């Protein structure tokens, strides 16, 4: 049996906003555009304090192969360029723009010319597109596997397996035609044999809509996936849709796959049509502290507090705010933090739900190993991290395949002793990376 079939968690869905169309929020008074909203090198600012900008104006250019440009999401005036401490503890430059409230588009915006793969790749890079449902990997870098003839299958991720989040669901229901157009654009210039759309079966309306839209395309098939977590994880998705297993340390291209989020594909079609770069996101706002859960269309860089206010505010004292959902989401230290390119949800928890569980010693029940979708044993990493000798510690971590960990949170979810398993795994992987960097 494949490792990828060993464990799945039945997490609560809580898709409270699945039937709510996204509403556009008013122009924010200001936006904070971080130069690092993607994996790779931060973008380099191209504006200075006092510059006038419009929606779609380039404010930071890509600074390397693995990088992505940043565009203004409002019209107004650049007020500050300053260092910014991000939610993950890293720092980058922030471009703060005071909005004039007009949301005037930049006059230079025009549809790109796309008549070859190279032009498609250049357009994707220029658009600022990164993975909109995950870690923010620049999409143009993913596409480069086509130059090596590696892409045999294009897999669209419509699983959306985290509790609360429904922003991709609304894309599949409201922007299905754009998903179709994006797929046709990819099929025209990427030499893949087939396109597979993976959607959890708890979204029957999405499955029906996309099945209908692709009915005339023999090279596209829509796959109904079990509604268990973490179906949307890249390696799990590839296994459950294409029957392929990405090797340890490998990428989807190593097994001939290009994986894209359904919202990313819809955006690609919109960009090809209008030329407007990535300047806004559909964000699910939900959680036990939110008064009126909603899906909202939000300019990138909008402060979280403005987004929460657009959802009616909070109904009680807030205990924690997350970028994303409760399984893999990252806590923010302030509601002044901005919406990022890959922010698909803001989850706001009340004090009770945010309170840490009481910690107990490991009882060696084995539930963490049973639930792990990669067939790993998290207790081995906890033991290894107690070893003082660095070489011995890292050898143990490598032997136990720590780099296969996806940090999905299944192990912590089922642990009866509330052990900090995911946190330990993250520290273990960081320890190995530090050694490799030296």
In a domain, 283, yes or no: no
What pLDDT score was predicted for residue 8?
78
- Look at residues 228, 257, 274 and tell me which one is the last residue of a structural domain: 274
What pLDDT score was predicted for residue 3?
45
Check if the beta carbon of residue 362 is closer than 8 Å to that of residue 414: no
Check if the beta carbon of residue 8 is closer than 8 Å to that of residue 229: yes
Residues 384 and 255 in one domain: no
Structure tokens at 426: 């993250």
Residue whose entry in the numeric block shows the structure tokens 């720092």: 91
The full DSSP string for 217-285 is -TTEEEEEE-S-BTTTSHHHHHHHHH---PPTT--GGGGTEEEEEHHHHHHHHHHHHH---S-EEEEEE
Residues 127 and 233 in one domain: yes
- Look at residues 215, 250, 274 and tell me which one is the last residue of a structural domain: 274
Report the number of distinct structural domains present in the chain. Answer: 2
- Look at residues 253, 274, 295 and tell me which one is the last residue of a structural domain: 274
Q: Which residues of the chain have pLDDT under 70?
A: 1-7
Residues 139 and 250 in one domain: yes
In a domain, 176, yes or no: yes
Q: Which domain holds residue 430?
A: 367-437
Residues 9 and 133 in one domain: yes
What pLDDT score was predicted for residue 134?
72
In a domain, 390, yes or no: yes
CATH of the domain at 251: 3.40.50.11540
């Amino acid at each position: 049996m494949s490792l990828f079939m060993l464990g799945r968690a039945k997490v609560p869905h809580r898709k409270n906003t699945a039937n709510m169309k996204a509403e556009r929020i008013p122009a924010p008074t200001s936006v904070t555009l971080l130069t690092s909203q993607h994996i790779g090198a931060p973008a380099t600012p191209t504006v200075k304090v006092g510059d006038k900008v419009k929606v779609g104006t380039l404010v930071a250019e890509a600074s390397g192969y693995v990088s992505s440009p940043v565009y203004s999401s409002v019209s107004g005036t650049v007020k500050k360029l300053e260092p910014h401490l991000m939610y993950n503890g890293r720092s980058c430059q922030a471009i703060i723009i005071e909005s004039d409230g007009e949301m005037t588009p930049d006059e230079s915006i025009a549809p790109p010319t796309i008549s070859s793969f190279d032009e498609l790749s250049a357009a994707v890079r220029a658009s600022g597109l990164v993975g909109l449902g995950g870690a923010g990997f620049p999409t143009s870098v993913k596409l480069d596997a086509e130059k090596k003839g590696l892409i045999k299958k294009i897999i669209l991720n419509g699983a959306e397996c985290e509790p609360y989040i429904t922003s991709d669901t609304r894309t599949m229901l409201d922007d299905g035609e754009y998903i179709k157009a994006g797929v046709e654009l990819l099929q025209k210039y990427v030499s893949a044999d087939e396109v597979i759309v993976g959607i959890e079966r708890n979204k029957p309306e999405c499955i029906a809509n996309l099945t209908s839209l692709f009915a005339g395309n023999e090279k596209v098939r829509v796959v109904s996936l079990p509604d268990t977590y973490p179906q949307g994880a890249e390696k799990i998705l590839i296994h459950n849709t294409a029957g392929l297993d990405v090797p340890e340390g490998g990428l989807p291209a190593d097994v001939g796959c290009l994986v894209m989020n359904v919202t990313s594909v819809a955006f690609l079609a919109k960009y090809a049509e209008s030329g407007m770069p990535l300047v806004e996101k559909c964000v699910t706002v939900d959680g036990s502290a939110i008064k009126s859960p909603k899906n909202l269309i939000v300019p990138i860089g909008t402060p979280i507090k403005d987004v929460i206010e657009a959802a009616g505010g909070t109904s009680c004292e807030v205990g924690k705010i997350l970028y994303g959902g409760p399984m893999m989401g990252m806590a923010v230290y302030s509601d002044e933090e901005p919406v990022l390119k890959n922010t698909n949800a803001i989850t706001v928890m009340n004090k009770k739900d945010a309170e840490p569980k009481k910690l107990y010693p490991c009882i060696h029940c084995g539930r963490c190993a049973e639930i792990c979708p990669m067939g790993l044993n998290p207790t081995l990493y906890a033991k290894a991290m107690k070893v003082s000798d660095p070489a011995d510690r890292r050898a143990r971590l490598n032997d136990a395949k720590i780099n296969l960990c996806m940090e999905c949170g299944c192990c912590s979810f089922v642990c009866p002793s509330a052990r900090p398993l995911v946190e330990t795994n993250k520290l273990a992987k960081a320890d190995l990376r530090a050694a490799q960097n030296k």
